[in-house]
Amino acid sequence: MKNRRIYNRTHSYAKAVFLFYDLIGYVRDISAEGLRIELVSDEIPEFSETAHTTIISHPDLELDPFNILTEIRWTQRNGPTIAVGLKVVKFSSSQGEEIFTHLVKLFADLNSQPD
């Protein structure tokens, strides 16, 4: 399948919490416009639904958690987990947007390093 994304996604790691759903997952890749989260859940969120999402970076990065409003673009069951593709709709603060942009750049830089 052809990649239709404007921005390439890079592998990443952070925790993600869907507020109001009590769902916790892990960010697996990230781009300037969205991210993919793996959920350990039996509940599959609805396509096109919006979700208030908190992103919690790895403690070693010393970055504050931040909230974003996301739109669920796709879901796919992967054995015991559910992959969820999210589009960023809105940041709850300019600080959150700055942290997100920093994470996108950080993981892009890490993924471009030779092995």
Q: Which domains does the chain have, with CATH numbers?
A: 10-110 (2.40.10.220)
Average model confidence (pLDDT) across the chain: 82
Residues 104, 32: contact at Cβ < 8 Å? yes
Q: Quick one: pLDDT at residue 9?
A: 54
pLDDT for the residue numbered 23: 83
pLDDT, position 115: 58
pLDDT < 50 stretches in the chain: 1
Residues 6+ apart with CB under 8 A from 102: 63
What is residue 6's predicted lDDT score, i.e. its pLDDT? Answer: 52
Structure tokens at 6: 């404007």
Q: What pTM was estimated for this model as a whole?
A: 0.78
pLDDT at 65: 92
